[in-house]
Amino acid sequence: MKDLILITGGNGIVGQILIKSFNKSHFDILHLHHSRNYSNYSLPKLTDMNKYERITVIHSGQPKAPRSLIERVNYKKASCRLFKESIEKNFSVIFVSSMSAHNGNLSYYSKDKKYLENMVINYGGCVIRLGLVESKLSSSPYFKVKKLYKQLNAIGLTNLVNFNSYEITKAQDLSDFISFSEISKLKGYLNIASSSFELKDINSFKLSKKTFCAFRILLVILSRLNLGRADAFLNLSAGMRNDVEE
């Protein structure tokens, strides 16, 4: 008997890699779509559940940045309903989170990820934390971090962000994980990453402690005001160094 995977975010960078990997492992896959303002994720009414040995819900979808307050609130509520309804139907639940949501990250993105991580664990599910997923797409966090490095390097401020602290998750990492794991039996927290950025020409320039703190405060304020992509930038720059000059 086959396993069925119900997946959100199937059109995203992570979702596409997951689906490709699941297809290779001969799972049946069904996309779960969100409503326009992220207020709902609908589980299908499966009439032929007996043909599947196990059913697993993988929640990898999220609102794109910049995120409005309404989208953030709706997304969290709809995600929690999805987890609850899935557990009630005896489906396994996996939430795809990010390593960058931790280590002092002050963005709304980080707060939302941590909130949903706790909800999934409380329901007895699994949290998979990915690093920056390697991608050539300009919309991917991986591409943006590399671009951020080039921009800061050009003005001698590379040491503002600890780029070597970023964990990298490759498509092969996810494929190997799916191939060797019993997806429906996963519980707790799992990190999937195999490497980090290797940038050997990092400038030794250091900011004063006051300048460093002022920059962080400015980013947080812009993020809270939902101006442009400040929240996304705050998320990407979560690796900001603490080794500033006293």
**Residue 83: is its pLDDT beyond 90?**
yes
Note the pLDDT of residue 165.
78
77 within domain boundaries: yes
Residue 154: other Cβ atoms inside 10 A = 9
Using one digit for the tens of pLDDT, what is the confidence trace for 158-189?
777 777 778 899 999 999 998 888 998 999 99
176 or 201: which carries more pLDDT confidence?
A: 176
**What is the pairing mode between strands 195-196 and 167-169?**
antiparallel
DSSP state of 10: T
The SS3 call for residue 79 is helix
136: Cα separation from own chain's centroid: 17
Which of the four pLDDT bands, split at 50, 70 and 90, describes residue 127?
very high
Q: Where are the beta strands (DSSP E) in the chain?
A: 2-8, 28-32, 52-59, 92-98, 126-130, 132-133, 167-169, 188-192, 195-196
Which of the four pLDDT bands, split at 50, 70 and 90, describes residue 103?
confident
Which residues share a beta bridge with 41?
A: 34
Backbone torsions φ then ψ of 133, nearest 5 degrees: -80, 120
Q: How many domains in the chain?
A: 1
**Residue 219: is its pLDDT beyond 70?**
yes
Which of the four pLDDT bands, split at 50, 70 and 90, describes residue 116?
very high
Which of the four pLDDT bands, split at 50, 70 and 90, describes residue 246?
very low
44 within domain boundaries: yes
The SS3 call for residue 60 is coil
175 within domain boundaries: yes
243 within domain boundaries: no
Boundaries of domain holding 126: 2-135+168-204
119 within domain boundaries: yes
Which of the four pLDDT bands, split at 50, 70 and 90, describes residue 207?
low
**Residue 57: is its pLDDT beyond 90?**
yes
Give the whole-angstrom CA distance, residue 223 versus residue 162: 20
Exposure of 27 in the CB half-sphere (CA atoms within 13 A): 27
Q: Answer positive or negative: Cα dihedral of 35, 141, 13, 30.
A: negative
Q: In percent, how much of the chain has pLDDT > 90?
A: 39
Q: Answer positive or negative: Cα dihedral of 84, 71, 136, 219.
A: negative
Give the amino acid at 220: V
**Residue 225: is its pLDDT beyond 60?**
yes
Give the whole-angstrom CA distance, residue 186 versus residue 124: 10
DSSP state of 184: G
Using one digit for the tens of pLDDT, what is the confidence trace for 227-245?
666 777 777 777 665 444 4
Q: What is the pTM of this model?
A: 0.86
**Residue 75: is its pLDDT beyond 90?**
yes
What CATH number is given to the structural domain containing 93?
3.40.50.720
144 within domain boundaries: no
> Scanning the structure block, which residue is given the tokens 């707790």?
188
